[in-house]
Amino acid sequence: MLISVIVPVYNRAGEIDDFLASFLVQQETNFEIIIVDDGSTDNLKQVIDRYSKDLAINYYFQQNQGPGAARNLGMSKASGDYFVFIDSDCTLAPDYIKNLTASISRNDFDAFGGPDSYSQDFSPFLKAVNYSMTSFLGTGGARGSKGKSVTKYYPRSFNMGIKREIFAKIGGMNQLRHGQDMDFSNRIYQAGFRVKYLADVIVFHKRRTSPLRFFKQIFNWGVARINLGRIDKNMLKPVHSLPFLAVLGFILSLILALFFPFVRIILKIELLLAVLIAVIAFLQSLMEYRQLSVAFLSVFTLFLQVLAYGLGFGYGVINSLTTGKGSFIKGFTRNYYK
């Protein structure tokens, strides 16, 4: 059985270096790596060439079209029985291929998603982002968890895979700028395929490396949720509006408290709730990472995440009123990858 690992990349030579290095220590070698260069102008190709003697790498170049189109090209070129999608800012745990192969041999799923975690050498900020993105307090278990989740689980392209026959039946990903992987997962469910969460198939995800980049990414995910709901109403649930309602409620309370004394009581309750959430986040992060700097930053990234998603969601709601049904709402669009 051959596993085709497909990764789109644009001007991320440093990331692809770490990505490919993680394949050199895999405990199984039944894989090929398909790198789709989405119009890079850096030294990406030179980095890839350094690994070509030790790894089975197939390199394809296309003009910049976004990761959805890049993954579709990768699937059309893949030779494997399984297609695995991983983001270029990830590295694989040494037992990734081994654990995935063992799971596939049990033949109890057609598509899978796996967790994204952190490596000990991550910066304090990246560890804090990992907390806000993977904790129940931050995302409600929606990105994959062995525990409870507030919403249905949809595999995401930082770590997901499908049988070859799925691509043959439902085609590739659409051209949504953000959220094309969740739409793809939704179509997999609709086609009747079995989907499973594999907790031991782990990638270490660096994500965005600065607060501004993190804000833009999460803002775009808020916009993407509205686009997904326009495609399929089942992809937009009341729980997805909670960050927007929290941001909107706090802003309204701040303004109205200037004119109506009774609103100040509501504002105090909101502030106390925010303090409680901050304390819980701080303690959870401290127990997980054992670093005070990460714990403090986790509080910051958690509230930044809520703010960014809430604003993006609200932006999407407003623009949906004036955008035709056949069009997608755009967020920060200067460059998908930044």
Chunked mean pLDDT (size 10), the chain, 338 residues? 96 93 95 96 94 96 92 97 96 97 94 94 95 91 67 92 97 90 96 96 89 94 94 92 97 96 96 98 97 98 98 94 73 57
DSSP 250-278: HHHHHHHTTT-HHHHHHHHHHHHHHHHHH
Cα 183 to Cα 203: distance, rounded to the nearest angstrom? 22
pTM of structure: 0.90
pLDDT of res. 177: 80
Domain spans of the chain, in order of start: 3-209, 214-320
Cα 281 to Cα 275: distance, rounded to the nearest angstrom? 10
Residue 292 CB neighbour total at 10 angstroms: 12
Fold of 3-209: Spore Coat Polysaccharide Biosynthesis Protein SpsA; Chain A (3.90.550)
